[in-house]
């Protein structure tokens, strides 16, 4: 959609769909990948244009694309319109279409984009697998961009089962009042350090009324949160494991403005989600309520 003629062709197609189904189906536009303005449907169809029901972004299958920043940009457009990443980095996909130099993505990459996008304001997310989309089978030879294995086995890939944990987590708290709020995370004195702006970013979301907050850390290191936007005099803390869908109940603490937290395990590709509740609301355990039992429950310290 990089010139007026193409834009008119797509607009005519969209108007025809609207007329044909009388508005029965939701309508959006799948943009191309990359780092320019063409990676959002809002470039071709601004929010003031009522033709699309929601905006779509595309990652471009890179592992360092700041999709959360793109989501936040579309989330802030007016008038308000929902947004999601319709083509994030697929699991077992050649990173940047260059497996020889960059290797393949994995389940951690899937989870990282999933939670950072959702916490930045996305209303949903897409899961994809490089072997499944092309239904790769032995008789097709090498396949497109050298898929790893065949599609039936790929259905059991870790990321395919782990994305459901995100839905269970978000639906275990009031859902429609959730907003992005990076103010829950206290910035590092070193801008690019954790919680910085790179691939190890820490993302945050909360209830609009402050009844709960959630913080996703792509790598497990100590970090500090600010609880000023949360309600209540007492806060309940939980760890949620996005790989297993389990939780650890850390208990109830008096509210303090600054709290330093340390995840159960420390490691560069071990992601965890901190859930903080206003204890007065007595929310159920996050996710499906499955209890995790690590050797170390992590640490909560007032500062």
Q: Render pLDDT for 192-224 as a digit per residue (tens, 0 to 9).
A: 676 766 677 899 999 999 999 999 999 888 899
- d(Cα 23, Cα 121) in Å, to the nearest integer? 25
d(CA 81, CA 179) in angstroms, rounded, equals: 14
Looking at residue 4, its pLDDT comes to 85
Residue with tokens 């697998």, as numbered in its chain: 129
Instruction: Tell whether the model's pLDDT for residue 174 goes beyond 90.
Output: yes
> Rounded to an integer, what distance in angstroms lies between the CA atom of residue 125 and that of residue 108?
15
Least confident of 191-195, 240-244, 271-275: 191-195
Coil, strand or helix at 70: helix
Task: Answer yes or no: is pLDDT of 124 > 60.
Answer: yes
> What percentage of residues in the chain have a pLDDT greater than 90?
70
Contacts of 188 (CB under 8 A, 6+ apart): 194, 195, 196
Helices (H) and strands (E) in the chain, counts: 8, 12
The structural domains of the chain, with segments of one domain joined by +, span 4-171, 178-302
Spatial distance between the Cα atoms of 270 and 101, rounded to a whole number of angstroms: 24
CA dist., res. 16 & res. 128, Å (int): 29
**Phi, psi (rounded to 5 degrees) for 72:** -60, -35
Nearest to 133 by CA among 92, 85, 101, 83: 92
Of the candidate ranges 31-45, 190-204, 262-276, the one whose mean pLDDT is the lowest: 190-204
Strands 83-87 and 55-58: parallel
What is the DSSP-derived secondary structure letter of residue 66?
-
Q: 4-171: which CATH number, 3.20.20.80, 3.30.1130.10, 3.30.565.10, 3.30.360.10? A: 3.20.20.80
Q: What is the mean pLDDT of the chain?
A: 91
CA 101 to chain CA centroid, Å, is 26
Is 90 exceeded by the pLDDT of residue 147? yes
Q: Rounded CA gap, 117 and 119, in Å?
A: 6
* Domain spanning 178-302, CATH architecture: Sandwich (2.60)
Residue 164: pLDDT band with limits 50, 70, 90: very high
Summarised one tens digit per residue, pLDDT across range 76-98 is: 999 999 999 999 999 999 999 99
C-alpha to C-alpha distance for 154 and 150, rounded to whole angstroms: 6
> Which range, of 36-40, 50-54, 91-95, 291-295, averages the lowest pLDDT?
291-295
Could you tell me how many residues make up the chain?
303
Cβ contacts of residue 42 below 8 Å, gap of 6+?
55, 74, 77, 81, 83
What pLDDT digit, counting tens, does each position of 56-72 carry? 998 889 888 888 989 99
């Amino acid at each position: 959609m990089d010139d007026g003629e193409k834009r008119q062709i797509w607009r005519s197609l969209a108007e025809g769909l609207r007329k044909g189904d009388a508005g029965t189906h939701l309508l959006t536009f799948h943009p191309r990948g990359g780092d320019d303005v063409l990676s959002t449907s809002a470039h071709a169809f601004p929010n003031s244009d009522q033709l699309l029901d929601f905006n779509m972004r595309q990652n471009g299958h890179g592992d360092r694309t700041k999709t959360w920043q793109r989501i936040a940009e579309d989330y802030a457009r007016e008038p308000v319109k929902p947004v999601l990443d319709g083509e994030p980095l697929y699991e077992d996909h050649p990173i940047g279409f260059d497996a020889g130099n960059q290797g393949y993505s994995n389940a951690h990459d899937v989870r990282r984009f999933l939670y950072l996008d959702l916490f930045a304001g996305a209303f949903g997310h897409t899961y994809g697998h490089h072997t499944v989309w092309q239904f790769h089978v032995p008789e097709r030879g090498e396949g497109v961009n050298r898929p790893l294995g065949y599609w039936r086995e790929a259905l059991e890939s870790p990321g395919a089962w782990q994305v459901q944990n995100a839905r269970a987590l978000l639906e275990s708290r009031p859902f429609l009042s959730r907003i992005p709020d990076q103010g829950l995370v206290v910035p590092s004195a070193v801008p690019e350090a954790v919680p910085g702006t790179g691939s190890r970013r820490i993302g945050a979301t909360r209830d609009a009324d402050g009844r709960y907050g959630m913080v996703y850390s792509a790598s497990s290191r100590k970090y500090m949160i600010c609880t000023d936007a949360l309600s209540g005099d007492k806060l309940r803390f939980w760890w949620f494991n996005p790989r297993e869908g389990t939780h650890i109940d850390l208990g109830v603490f008096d509210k303090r403005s600054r709290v330093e937290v340390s995840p159960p395990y420390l490691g560069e590709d071990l992601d965890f989600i901190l859930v903080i509740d206003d204890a007065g609301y007595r929310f159920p355990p996050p996710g499906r309520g499955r209890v995790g039992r690590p050797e170390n429950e992590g640490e909560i310290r007032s500062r």
